[in-house]
Structure 1
Amino acid sequence: MPPLNLGSLSSSEKLELLQLLEEKERRSRQNRLATYKPYRKQVEFHKSGAAYRERLFMAGNQLGKTLAGAAEAAMHLTGEYPEWWQGYRFSGPIVMLAGSESYELTRDGVQRLMIGPPMNPKDWGTGYVPKKAIVSTTKRSGVSGALDSVSVRHVSGGISTLLFKAYEQGRSKWQANTVNFVWFDEEPPPDVYFEGITRTNATGGLITVTFTPLKGMSEVVRRYTKPGDDPGAVDRNVTTMTIDDAEHYTPEERAKIIASYPAHEREARTKGIPALGSGRIFPVTEESIKVAPFEIPKHWVQIGGLDFGWDHPFAAVGCAWDRDADVFYVTKAYRARESTPVIHAAALKPWGAWLPWSWPHDGLQHDKGSGEQLAVQYRSQGLTMLPERATFDDGTNGVEAGVMDMLDRMMTGRWKVFSTCPEWFEEFLLYHRKDGQIVKEMDDLISASRYALMMKRFAKVKPSNTAWAFTDRKVV
């Protein structure tokens, strides 16, 4: 179609064209849902609703998590699902609860994206709920511009109800008879979260959570990422979106954004990885210590580290030490729970019968069943256990000293971990302090690494008659 020659139009035709363009713009602004084009990770999040009742969209700041939550909520309220939609579909009108930390934040986030600018009622209908679908609204007293509820016309002819809430008033304010859909924007307190689940039990409704995990490994985050043996975990899903998944940023913009955050918040704000704030023990980036696997040079020495466990996982690492450059490498990782020394030893012996193993003081404890020391049991299974428990050169074995040695090496480029050890990096990101004390949770591979570092003076060169091989790792 050739470009329009405005000079050939009469004044009345120009006026008519202007009115048509304004009407087109008005209709577009009042039906934002029709133009929603999600990124790949947002599509993944939406699609997961067809298979999971509880979903967490954990993403960095300004990457589109709340926008995705608002668009999906509007679809469920109106029944207007796009052709590409593969997520859950409600067959009729729903009752929905949605909110954030305070009524002000709910107004400025959830309400703004779903309804429109809070302080300009004339523009209500320019959010993801189309203007034509808004039947009525009720205001919340005491909070300027905040709504209490919205009645939304469903394509079936019925009416959906949207109720705005806030965490600050406690779990009781989230009580309702029964609801079909709950959307928590920003991380809710556990009691509020479980109240939301309770409200959907009768309907089998959906729970959706969207936030940047700045509160660290909280109870809600652990419910999704570290459920343990919880049988309900099969009905939960977490989608993580990083700054690299946000197509609206250029590489240069991404680099500037990443550099603008303090180191201990960078992973959370750009990758959606739970932050541990200033209490994080290793405030360095994963990229700064991660390296691609390579064949260990023949003259480097190697050593293994063990951390015994049953309820909490047994862990083992294989390590190599470049003595010339004084760089310590973690090359292999193994973690498993509720298994016997026979099982663990069988998994570790392929790493090499020659490999010396360092171990902690609890290796001197006697097994309640056999009466043998743990270290003796592993030695009898064919592992080359060092004769004494792990200590520094001076005979001490302080945890803080070992941790500080690891941190100093990380910050000076003398601690590296093979990228084929994802379980190790999982613990690295979660290792933190609370009230000044190291939290002894999810630290098994970290501890095994510390024991290996403490005993590096006993590391050995791999015999020349053995072949190099990567081994499979078991993760539980």
Structure 2
Amino acid sequence: MSRYVVQAGWDDVPHLNEQAKADLEASYLPHERDARRKGIPGLGEGAIYPVPEKEVVCKPFPVPEHFARAYGFDVGWKKTAGIWGAWDRDNDIIYCYSEHYRGQAEPSVHASAVKARGEWIPGIIDTAARGRSQTDGRRLWDLYIQQGLQLYKANKAVEAGILEVYQRLSTGRLKFFSTLQYTIAEYLLYHRNEKGLIVKEDDHLMDALRYLCMGIKQAITKPVQQHRIRTGIADSTAGY
């Protein structure tokens, strides 16, 4: 019995016009596109976000008050990382403006650094913190809640998160302040191996970035402080 293999992709389908192909291509990550467009099997080795640094890094500027803010938080004993984003809702652009990157410190130390950037800013945290313990057995999630942080569970769908980040990067809707040295360093090194698997080394901020982008709707603007108005009568004789 003879066997044969047919190799086909979008380029071989006559009913798809160029616009339809472009729309389909935009919905896939770069390492998946040859397989989809040309029918060429491949695992996809190389940079996960192949967008040049100069296109995603911008000069720092004062963040407007009306930009909503949140941070992604990847916690652990060896390394804890956080990245803060300011969301321009009108143009759907996230500006990453601050980072936290430190290892082997107690949750109280990390929490202090987080709160210094604004106690009102919500965080989107790695859900593994619910089951991950310090050496004394206490869960990291509980420890951070006890420190007064406002936290939400992160969406940890890895490939969906990477696609969301990539689409923002490639369309100019995600920017890094040039002061984020650790974030930019991880961004440039973040890659897949020859088997198409993400290399899980020095990627804590990239994980935090995924959590931030996937959970950006949790971002809020700074609450307006309410000033109490005195209603008592200052002079009981005059009546005012």
Pair in the same fold by TM > 0.5: yes
Q: Structure 1 or 2: larger helix share? A: 1
Deviation, structure 1 residue 368: 4.6
Is residue 444 from structure 1 mapped to residue 204 from structure 2 by the alignment?
A: yes
Aligned to 1:437, the other structure's residue is in SS state coil
- 2:222 aligned with 1:456, yes or no? no
TM-score if structure 1 supplies the norm length? 0.37
Aligned partner of 2:102 in structure 1 is 336
Q: Residues 9-408 of structure 1 correspond to what in structure 2 (within 5 A)?
A: 279-311=46-78, 313-386=79-152, 389-391=153-155, 397-408=156-167
Which deviations, in whole Å up to 9, do the C-alpha atoms of 1:344-366 show, x marking residues without a partner? 11111111110101111211114
Unaligned ranges ≥5, structure 1: 1-276, 392-396, 466-476
Q: Quote the offset at 1:329 in angstroms.
A: 1.4
* 1:433 has 2:199 as partner: no
Measured after TM superposition, the shift of residue 370 of structure 1 is 3.8
- Offset at residue 420 of structure 1 (A): 0.9
Q: Please report how far the alpha carbon of residue 454 of structure 1 lies from its aligned counterpart in structure 2 after TM superposition.
A: 1.2
Match of 1:462, SS?
Answer: coil
1: CA distance between counterparts of 2:126 and 2:161?
12
Q: Give the one of 172, 176, 195 matched to 1:417.
A: 176
Query: 3-state DSSP class of the match of 1:461?
Result: coil
Query: What is the CA–CA distance in structure 1 between the aligned matches of 2:86 and 2:97, rounded to whole Å?
Result: 7
Verify the 8 A CA contact 2:164 2:214 in the aligned structure 1: no
CA distance in 2, matches of 1:450, 1:328: 12
| Residues 278 and 433 (structure 1), Cα distance of their counterparts in 2 relative to 1, 3 Å cut | closer
> In 2, Cα distance between the equivalents of 1:459 and 1:289?
21
Please state whether the residue corresponding to 1:410 is helix, strand or coil: helix
The alpha-carbon distance between structure 1 residues 337 and 447, as it changes in their structure 2 partners (threshold 3 A), is same
Contact 2:56 2:175 in 1 (8 A): yes
Separation of aligned partners in 1, 2:222 and 2:209: 19
CA contact (8 A) 2:186 2:205 kept: yes
Q: Tell me the distance in 1 between the aligned counterparts of 2:85 and 2:151.
A: 15
- What is the deviation of 1:369? 3.5
| RMSD across aligned positions (CA) | 1.8
How far apart, CA to CA, are the structure 2 residues paired with 1:366 and 1:300? 33
Rounded to whole Å, the distance in 2 between the matches of 1:368 and 1:426 is 28
Cα distance, 1:308 vs structure 2: 1.0
TM-superposed deviation, 1:407: 0.8
Per the alignment, residue 86 of structure 1 pairs with: none
- SS of 1:319 mapped into structure 2: strand
Distance 1:415 1:366, change over 3 A: closer
Give the Cα separation in 2 of the matches to 1:383 and 1:350.
11
Question: What is the distance in 2 between the residues matched to 1:464 and 1:427?
Answer: 36
Q: Deviations over 1:17-39 (max 9, x none)?
A: xxxxxxxxxxxxxxxxxxxxxxx
Distance 1:438 1:445 in 2: 14
Task: Give the partner amino acid of 1:304.
Answer: Y
CA drift of 1:430 comes to: 0.2
User: What residue is the counterpart of 2:19 in the other structure?
Assistant: none
Once the two structures are superposed, residues 386-441 of structure 1 have per-residue CA deviations (whole angstroms, 9 ceiling, x without a partner) of 2xx212xxxxx310110111111111111101111011000000000011011111
5+ residue gaps, structure 2, are: 1-43, 226-240
How far, CA to CA, are the matches of 2:134 and 2:66 in structure 1?
Answer: 42
Q: Deviations over 1:241-268 (max 9, x none)?
A: xxxxxxxxxxxxxxxxxxxxxxxxxxxx
Please tell me the residue identity of whatever aligns with 1:390.
A
Q: Take 1:413 and 1:321, find their aligned partners in 2: how far apart are those partners? A: 13
Deviation string for 1:365-386 (max 9, x for gaps)?
1425443321110111122222
Measured in 1, the distance between the counterparts of 2:186 and 2:176 equals: 12
Cα distance in 2 between the residues matched to 1:306 and 1:355? 12
What CA distance in whole angstroms lies between the structure 1 residues aligned with 2:132 and 2:162? 27
Aligned length: 182
**Poorly superposed stretches of 4+, deviation over 6 Å:** none
Letter of the structure 2 residue corresponding to residue 293 of structure 1: P
Percent sequence identity is: 38
Instruction: Tell me, in whole angstroms, the C-alpha distance in 2 between the residues paired with 1:368 and 1:318.
Output: 25
